[in-house]
Structure 1
Amino acid sequence: MKTTSIINVGLLGFGSAGRIYHAPFLNAYAGYRLSKVRTAQTSPEICARELKGHTQVVSTSESIFEDPAIDLVVVAAPNHLHHSLAKQALEAGKHVVVDKPFTLTTAEADELIEVARQQQRVLTVYHNRRFTSDFRTVKKVCQSGLLGRVVEYEAHFDRFRNSIRAGSWKEDNGPGGGIFYDMGTHLIDQALELFGLPEAVRADLRIQRTGGQSIDSFEVVLEYPNLKATLKGSMLAKEPFPQFTVFGDHGTFMKYGRDVQDDALRIGTVPHNGPEWGLEPENFWGRLHTSHQGLEINGIVRSELGNFGDFYHNLHDVITAGKELIVKPEEARNVIRIIELAEQSSREKRTIPFTL
């Protein structure tokens, strides 16, 4: 446990993940000091504009690992580097945040969990979509009992880009590329948070765009004893689907609209803890139609506030005060296990029983 309240951070990677989803929260929260950023691609001008004056831009990961002042390393590098960089950071005695996906295999995830245990360091994964307005609202509705027994759940994470982005590692056929390791990890983590581990997995993973080399369409079904959870993502969704649809034996909840934090962060809005951050417009609010305790309910459900920063607030409390970690590495490891089984299911065209 760290005895001082300021956590010094080294950030590995300043592409879209590091620049948009990590650095703004590390800079905005007084409990962290973003001391060093390692980047090989982002221009010095962008770094100077978006980082505070005390942040040093370095060209090697070793300059972060070997710095005794660094308490926490955030790994926001390409997916295939997550395991090796996180392992080096843990072995150097640092606490570690790994951007999703945790690793490419469960074997890699298990190794990191064991190294963190041996080093007595905190290890977690940035499953920030647990902290969105839409998911928090869906979770509240599911737990309220208003739908009765939930029997079917469908979640989408769709985009529309019918061209292939040149030079992007996410678009090639290398390990960890494609939207299943990107958007799919979010949907799997959310489903496991709501319903726990499934009994079986079946999946259809496809390349649909002309010239595509990596998965750009997925449908994964998690089978439970009395529940089916369907998770879908596409790069060719011109018209929006509902983000979430939930059927219970008393009624239905449906919600459109992607979390507003993404657009705010992309235009450079500084995150904060005020009532406006993560606040969804009314046209994003979900609709609930159900019968509950003899009453017919058919109306709009006000969205909960979202805040990706709650991930880092929790982590600060864990490192400095010994509080419980919200996103446990074992949970992130199970997300990777679902990915492995989904890939096997799609390849073999059959349902695969869930095994750890």
Structure 2
Amino acid sequence: MQTIKTALLSYGMSGKIFHAPFLDFHPGFEILGAWERTKKLIQVDFPHFKSYPTLEELLADDVNLVVVNTPVETHYEYTKKVLLAGKNAIVEKAFTTTVAQAKELATIASEKGLKLTVFQNRRWDSDFKTVQAILVQDLLGEMVEAEFHFDRYNPNLSPKLHKETSNAGAGILKDLGPHIIDQALFLFGMPKSVFADIRITRDHSVVDDYFDILLYYSDFRVRLKAGFFVREANPAYLIHGKKGSFLKPRGDVQEDELKLGKKPNLDNWGIESIEHQGLLHTEINGEIVKKLIPTLQGNYYDFFDGVYNSISNNSVEPVTALDGIRVMQIIEASIQSSNHKRAIVL
């Protein structure tokens, strides 16, 4: 088995929680270390890993793959340096801050024959995989509307300054937005037009913390919402077709288990609690059916396995640069729509 030597561009929450556990568990990856500017934390968890003092030293090492998991406003600059150094890249969401930046990175990767993928791990959440299965089985009939929520109750500002200062990568639209935008595009493709309302709702906030995006397709609509003042959670997914409906609460356990220090596996990882099952109410073979649907198993390992295969076998990336470009197109159209109070044709 080919070993892909990998390095991280930071070892904060995303490196420690979302990337290192899966890269360390997957037999096809070898983590060399992480770029750490001040706090030297990676060697606490992995004493044999390197703590690179500079990006240049990291890129000069024998690295095949670099995880760009730094603040959003740095993604374009750092990913460009990574690609120009001849390294494959995984880039956290949001991919970049503009469509133009995303397209330029995709072009560089293509010209150099490198793999460039966006870390849209929420495609491998248990709740979303269950929603996808319901649609693949065509249990709801012709689509009428869908609504995806990524809601929280947290009126306090984040202690992470890059998330709460006015910069090109800050705000909920580029933080939580890429998750559900990507999920919608993955299921339904690109819409014909976009209407959005983007607001600031928290006291003393200078960045957007609420959005309501409406994606217009030919025969149905998809609404995407997120905010910090939802104390009583809505279903994360509401799908309505001409035969029936499927409602699914957010229930994926992977992030919580990773924060507790649990290690991923291929057997019982990512299994939701039974009380988070989705409700299916539809018509099947002329009979009205209303029942709870067992949730499928989630596992972010599958994303990293897809990255491994894309590099070692030259297969398509699990999330392509084009996927990342399309998410940025929706984000840019949403900002334009909210500013001008009108729908934006794509």
TM-score, structure 2 length as denominator?
0.98
Deviation for aligned residue 1:218? 0.6
1:184 corresponds to which of 153, 169, 177: 177
C-alpha contact (below 8 Å) 1:142/1:150 kept by paired residues? no
Deviation for aligned residue 1:167? 4.2
What are the Cα deviations for residues 117-146 of structure 1, in whole angstroms up to 9, with x where unaligned?
111111111011111101110011012111
Partner SS, residue 201 of structure 1: strand
Partner of 1:10: 7
Partner SS, residue 176 of structure 2: helix
Partner of 2:207: 214
Q: Please give the alpha-carbon distance, in whole angstroms, between the structure 2 residues aligned to 1:256 and 1:22.
A: 25
Structure 1 position 175 matched with structure 2 position 172? no
Q: What is the root-mean-square deviation of aligned Cα atoms in Å?
A: 1.1
1:293 corresponds to which of 265, 285, 291: 285
Unaligned runs of 5+ in 1: none
Partner of 1:135: 128
Deviation for aligned residue 1:112? 0.5
Structure 1 position 324 matched with structure 2 position 288? no
Q: Which amino acid in 2 is paired with 1:24?
A: P
Partner of 2:26: 29
Q: Please give the alpha-carbon distance, in whole angstroms, between the structure 2 residues aligned to 1:281 and 1:167.
A: 31
Q: Which amino acid in 1 is paired with 2:293?
A: V
Q: How many residues align?
A: 346
Partner SS, residue 33 of structure 2: strand
Structure 1 position 344 matched with structure 2 position 336? yes
Q: Which amino acid in 1 is paired with 2:312?
A: T
What are the Cα deviations for residues 95-119 of structure 1, in whole angstroms up to 9, with x where unaligned?
1110111111111011111110111
Q: Please give the alpha-carbon distance, in whole angstroms, between the structure 1 residues aligned to 2:338 and 2:238.
A: 24
Structure 1 position 47 matched with structure 2 position 42? yes
Partner of 2:104: 111
Partner SS, residue 161 of structure 1: coil
Partner SS, residue 250 of structure 1: coil
Deviation for aligned residue 1:165? 2.3
Partner of 2:56: 62
What are the Cα deviations for residues 12-40 of structure 1, in whole angstroms up to 9, with x where unaligned?
01122222111111111121111020122
Q: Please give the alpha-carbon distance, in whole angstroms, between the structure 1 residues aligned to 2:337 and 2:18.
A: 32
TM-score, structure 1 length as denominator?
0.95
Partner SS, residue 315 of structure 2: coil
Structure 1 position 262 matched with structure 2 position 259? no
Q: Please give the alpha-carbon distance, in whole angstroms, between the structure 1 residues aligned to 2:42 and 2:47.
A: 10
The correspondence of residues 230-269 of structure 1 with structure 2, limited to 5 A, is: 230-269=223-262
Deviation for aligned residue 1:64? 1.3
Q: Which amino acid in 1 is paired with 2:284?
A: H
Q: Please give the alpha-carbon distance, in whole angstroms, between the structure 1 residues aligned to 2:223 and 2:96.
A: 23
What are the Cα deviations for residues 296-351 of structure 1, in whole angstroms up to 9, with x where unaligned?
11101111110111110011111112223221110111000100000000000111
Go from structure 1 to structure 2 and tell me whether the alpha carbon gap of 1:167 and 1:282 turns closer, same or farther (over 3 Å shift). Answer: closer
Q: Please give the alpha-carbon distance, in whole angstroms, between the structure 1 residues aligned to 2:65 and 2:114.
A: 10
**Percent of aligned positions that are identical:** 36
Deviation for aligned residue 1:71? 0.4
Partner of 2:195: 202
What are the Cα deviations for residues 214-272 of structure 1, in whole angstroms up to 9, with x where unaligned?
11111101000111100000111111110100000000100113311010111111111
1:281 corresponds to which of 273, 282, 288: 273
